[in-house]
Amino acid sequence: MAKLYFYYASMNAGKSTNLLQADFNYRERGMATMLFTAAIDTRFAAGTITSRIGLEAAATPFDAATDLAACVLDRHRHEAIACVLVDEAQFLTAVQVDQLATLADTHDLPVVTYGLRTDFRGSLFEGSARLLALADALVEIKSVCVCGRKATMNLRVDAAGRAIAEGQQTEIGGNDRYVALCRRHFTEALGEEGVGG
């Protein structure tokens, strides 16, 4: 039976690289995959999953209105899909996560999602919360804090490197906007009152 997987990590842990490696492994064996990425992430070419080490692949962009199950099943009717891979899974809606679970449960299609667990305030994203509730397998991809401990939090910073504790949950950025930290250094950077919004 197919499963729904959630690979989660802080920023800059190699989530997209892992996804692209998984995609390559399927394709190398002659199996078709279907890749999705968040339309809101426009740091690189639209409809492309790009890793910091230079790997990239075309993907179907999704937003809150995208019916992921319908997209997959439409393509699956014309070409057997061996696996569905979703980057930036934190931006999924709860309904979309339910659609992905249905692909695994009813249509026997493995679905592997990659994303952040928490935002810059330490709060869960909607997609991540639903994946933590529904996924058959939860896999943490490790990243390292400046102190050498495991980084689990995403600190948002301004142009001068100062911590930002308020603002919209979603603000696209990379190393220029976010620093992966352990919980201790995240809390220290924001101050006790800043954690959790």
> Which amino acids are annotated catalytic?
88
51 annotated to a ligand binding site: no
What residues are paired with 16 via a beta bridge? none
Q: Burial level of 92, CB count in 10 A (0-12/13-18/19+)?
A: buried
Asked whether residue 16 is marked as a ligand-binding residue, the answer is yes
Residue 34 annotated as lining a ligand binding site: no
Query: Is 89 assigned a ligand-binding role in the annotation?
Result: yes
The answer to whether 185 is a known ligand-binding residue is yes
3-state helix, strand, coil in the chain (%, to 5): 30, 25, 40
Q: Helix 94-107 vs helix 126-134: angle between axes, to the nearest 10 degrees?
A: 30
Q: Which residues are annotated as a binding site for Zn(2+)?
A: 145, 147, 182, 185
Q: Which residues are annotated as a binding site?
A: 9-16, 87-90, 145, 147, 182, 185
Q: Which residues are annotated as a binding site for ATP?
A: 9-16, 87-90
